[in-house]
Structure formats: C-alpha cells, structure tokens
Structure 1
C-alpha cells in the first residue's frame, strides 16, 4: 500500500519539511512573545498589590 510520502518527490518532502519548520519556529516565537507579555502583566499587578499593601501599612502606622 502506498504511503503519503511515496506520492511526493524527495524535493517536495524537503520543501514541506522546511515549510513545517518555519511555521513551527513562527509559532514558538509567538508563544514566547505572549508568555513574556503575560509575565510583564503579572509582575505589574504584583507590584501594584505590593504598593497598595505598603500604603495601607504606612497609613496604619501614621
């Protein structure tokens, strides 16, 4: 029984593999960028929380 690879010439397989590798690299870059944005948002929210807590305790001490 013929396989999917047997329908393509070797150069077609290489082209498909290269395209798949490029798409994978692009998707990985997008995921990394999204992850970094989420980390920045999380850090900003944490700092806001810490600032609010510090203001609260300073108000209690004064």
Structure 2
C-alpha cells in the first residue's frame, strides 16, 4: 500500500473477528487494501458502502460456517 494513500477504513490494534461488527469491518478493510494495492483511490474509485457491499457475501459465508456470530 502506498504510504501516501489513506484508506477509508482505519486499522485497529484489537478486533474480535468472531463478532459481526468487527468481522465485517475487517473483511471490508482487507478488500480496501487489495483495491489500494491495485491502484484504486479511496473516496474516488470506491466508497465505504462499496466496501461493505463487497464484503457482504464473504461475511454471510463466514456466518454460515460458524466463523462469525451474528
């Protein structure tokens, strides 16, 4: 990730990826990292809502598998 690029979703030191809120946020943050590494510009090429929509199918699968508690 370019050190000059500020992501929309900040990285927290402590998260519980087994909870819905943190699991969804971390999934969206990982997607954002991939977008930035591919050259996307935060706030221009995608929004918060885009990130959460992209994360939704992954999070639903994690819930289905029991990896995240709804």
TM over 0.5: no
Larger Rg: 1
Give TM-score scaled by structure 1 length: 0.34
> Which structure exhibits the higher relative contact order, with contacts defined as CA atoms closer than 8 Å and separated by 6 or more residues?
2
More helix by share: 1
